[in-house]
Amino acid sequence: MSTRHFFRWNPTVVILIILTVLYGVVAPLNILLGSAAAQQGDQHVSHIWYWGAFWNAVVAILCFTGWRLMRRQSRVYLVAGACAVAAALFIVMCIWIIGLIHGRNPSVIEAVLIWLPMLYVIIYALCESKRENAA
């Protein structure tokens, strides 16, 4: 089985839409949890929740941007979309690694369910951008 048959546009779209919705929904939830922690007087925890909301919103925007860019299926837009998704992956990985360093014990499930689909999208975009018929 060649990589051409494994990496397709439809799964890429589904992955990007799911990630956009997932991170877009989690961002307001983080704000609610941050305000609840602030009302209880735990400013440090509320600060963490608010930063989480910010970074989740950034990842959602990057996934949405990557999807919209890749829709045009031209070489430049595919690479630009791959860069947007790579930036989102970098943010997610950094947050996960920082949690690991600080002893928060991040979930391995997140690495499998988030990182691998993002890598799939990036590889798809880069493989498609190298095809002869990409404009």
Taking only the tens of pLDDT, the chain with its 135 residues reads 455 667 787 899 999 999 999 999 999 999 999 999 999 998 999 999 999 999 999 999 999 999 999 999 899 999 999 999 999 999 999 999 988 898 887 788 888 899 999 999 999 999 998 875 655
In this structure, how many other beta carbons lie within 10 angstroms of the beta carbon of residue 53? 19
pTM of the model: 0.89
Q: Please provide residue 107's backbone torsions phi and psi, each rounded to the nearest 5 degrees.
A: -80, 135
Q: How far apart are the C-alpha atoms of 12 and 107, rounded to whole Å?
A: 24
What tokens does 133 get? Answer: 């018929």
Q: How far apart are the C-alpha atoms of 132 and 88, rounded to whole Å?
A: 28
